[in-house]
Every structure is written in structure tokens, then in C-alpha cells.
Amino acid sequence: MEPWKSNPLWEKLVVDTYAEAFRSLYSRVLVTARDKKWLLAACTAATGHASSTILCDCEAGIERVVDGKSPGQETPDGRIGAYLQFHVPRFRKDRVEHLERVLMARLSQNVLTCPTTRCFNALETDPYFKLGRKIAFFGDGHQTRTEQFGCKGWTIPTLGGEFFLSRRFGYADGIMGGNLWFLGYSEESAILAAEKAAEAADQTPNVITTFPGGVAASASKAGSSYKFLIASTFAEYCPTLKVKLGEKSLVPEGVTSIMEIIINGSTLEDVALATYNSVAAALQVDGLHSISAGNYGGRLGKSFIYLHPDKHKS
């Protein structure tokens, strides 16, 4: 967490505020495949429609891709692989059961069905889900308990050959909702800053970005003027509403576009590190008015990531 110390733009452009994150329950899995084409096909499908917990069953993303053989990138079967994270809010009363349903649906319908894939647990915890046995029922009685690639699991016959997955999949506390806003004097500068920030986050261990391309053009606020909605557009920060809202608008003069990235991860420190790496990357872009973050006075969560790292506490 050091890049801010040597960058004078940090003090100038980064607002002295915090991102309001909240606790999650998450699982981490490793998918492998014959080649990158089929790996990304499976992983993109398995993490699809998982941008925001507002109306998705979870928030999910690709944490990192590994070649399967290099030091620190090994996979059980020696093939190319990708680590995925799946998060659900801890404030859900049915969070454990819900996360298991999320995993069962996404792994069975999007990984098992994809040619040449295998699926391994990547979070050794107790408690855990006995997910392998449940997905294995697809084998219609022909499934077998096996030990392959140094892992205990289930082998399911398919028309394409066999599908192997771990017996158990762990789950643990994580963090959702780390965020950054990039206020640009043009759409181009806001998007470019958000792109660089998302790329930096994706290169940070143990975190994911959840929106398409890692960037959201629709930052939301908790609550709505409509009783049936739990969240809505953050009108006070919509540049096109500046004249209509008048004094209620919080858009600085000259800002025409605001882009956001969302960061989820294993721990608050992982998300904080990704946040600071992202800010450092975005500060390379010209045309930014400022970098800020969304917070709601603790209404959403109690996990704060201060954008000025000297104020951040573990």
C-alpha cells in the first residue's frame, strides 16, 4: 500500500473519503480445460449475470487465469485454469443455503456442460458444501466416487467423455462492495481511468471485479423513491441531471461522466490493496476531475476502505 506516498496527484485528485463495503459469504473454485478457448467459455458463462446483488443471485468473477505448470500457477491436472469467486451478502438470512444453490446451478449448468472442463474446490474450509455428490446425480446412477489428480471427487460420464469435480467445496467470510468512482471532464477520460483501474484490480491477488469489463456506468444508492426497489440510480451524481436538480446535484462543475468499478475479495485487506493499486493506475490518465467512492454513512456496510491509505485501519 505504498504507491500513494510518491504520487503528488493522490493528494490533489483523490477525495478524502471512503468506500463502504460489506461482508459476504463466498466460495472459490478452480476450473480447468483443454485450452483457453474452452476455459474462458465455461468461466464466462459460470460468472454471467452476476454484476450486482441488487438483482443477480450473486456477484461473481474471474479472479485469475493460470497456465497450470509454471511455479505458483500449478493446477491439479496440469492444464490451464481459472479461479472464480462467488459472493452473496452476509446479511441474507438464507446466505448458506443460497450460496450452495448458486454454486449448484452455475457449476452444473455452465461448467459440467462445457467441453473438456473439470472443477476443483479452491477454498479449504470446514464447513463446506457436499456439492460434488449433488451434482453427480446427473450421472443417473452411473456416477462414481473417484480420486484423480490428487483430489477426492466424483466422475460423471458424459457424451463428451467424463466430467470430474471435487467432493467438497468450502465457503468463508469475504468482502463485497469495494468501489471507486472516476469523475471525468469527458466520457473518454472517465472510461479510460476506470479501465486502467479495473485492470490493476484484476492483477491484484484474491479479488474480482464483477461488472462487464470491470466497469459500471450506473453507480447506485441504497433505497429508492419507489417502495418496491432496494436501490436506484444515484441521481445526485448523474451529470445529465445537474441542471434539473440544481443545488441538490453533487456533480462538480465541468464533469460530464462518472464511471465506477466494484471490487470483491477474500478479505478487507485484499480489497483495500486492490483499491490502492487501482487508484495509482487511474491517476496516469489525463482529464480527471477527481477519484472518489460511494458510501452511505454505514447504512450498507461497516467495512470502510479509506482512499487515503494513511487513514485505513485493518
- Span 100-130, pLDDT tens digits: 999 999 999 999 999 999 999 999 999 999 9
Q: Which of 145, 170, 195 is the last residue in one of the domains? A: 170
Q: How many Å apart are CA 201 and CA 65, to the nearest integer?
A: 14
Average pLDDT estimate for 209-226: 93
**pLDDT of res. 240:** 97
Residue 110 · residue 45 · CB < 8 Å:
yes
Q: Has residue 5 got a pLDDT over 70?
A: no
Per the structure, the count of domains in the chain is: 2
**pLDDT of res. 120:** 98
Residue 3 CB contacts under 8 Å (≥ 6 apart), including other chains: 10, 276, 277, 279, 280
Average pLDDT estimate for 274-302: 92
Residues 130, 249 share a domain: no
Residue 290 · residue 15 · CB < 8 Å:
yes
**pLDDT of res. 74:** 98
What is the pTM (predicted TM-score) of this model? 0.94
**pLDDT of res. 4:** 60
Domain containing residue 236: 3-17+176-311
Residues 33, 165 share a domain: yes
Q: Which of 170, 187, 210 is the last residue in one of the domains? A: 170
Q: Has residue 283 got a pLDDT over 60?
A: yes
pLDDT per position as a tens digit, 24-40: 999 999 999 999 999 99
Q: Has residue 296 got a pLDDT over 90?
A: no
**pLDDT of res. 312:** 72
Residues 164, 92 share a domain: yes
Is-cis flag, bond preceding 8, omega within 30? no
Bridge-based pairing of strands 303-306 and 207-209 is unpaired
Going by pLDDT thresholds of 50, 70 and 90, the confidence category of residue 309 is confident
265: domain CATH number?
Answer: 3.30.70.520
Least Cα distance to 212 among 87, 51, 60 occurs for 51
Going by pLDDT thresholds of 50, 70 and 90, the confidence category of residue 167 is very high
- To the nearest 10 degrees (0 to 180), the angle between helices 187-202 and 268-282 is 140
Residues 217, 151 share a domain: no
pLDDT per position as a tens digit, 130-163: 999 999 999 999 999 999 999 999 999 999 999 9
Residue 238 · residue 252 · CB < 8 Å:
no
Average pLDDT estimate for 60-86: 98
Q: Which of 123, 149, 170 is the last residue in one of the domains? A: 170
**pLDDT of res. 3:** 60
Share of the chain above pLDDT 90, in %: 90
Q: What is the mean pLDDT of the chain?
A: 95
Residues 42, 13 share a domain: no
Distances (CA, A) of 98 to 58, 108, 284: 9, 15, 41
Greater confidence (3 vs 170) lies with: 170
Residue 202 · residue 211 · CB < 8 Å:
no
Q: How many Å apart are CA 261 and CA 291, to the nearest integer?
A: 11
Residues 150, 30 share a domain: yes
Residues 157, 29 share a domain: yes
pLDDT per position as a tens digit, 55-70: 999 999 999 999 999 9
Q: Has residue 1 got a pLDDT over 60?
A: no
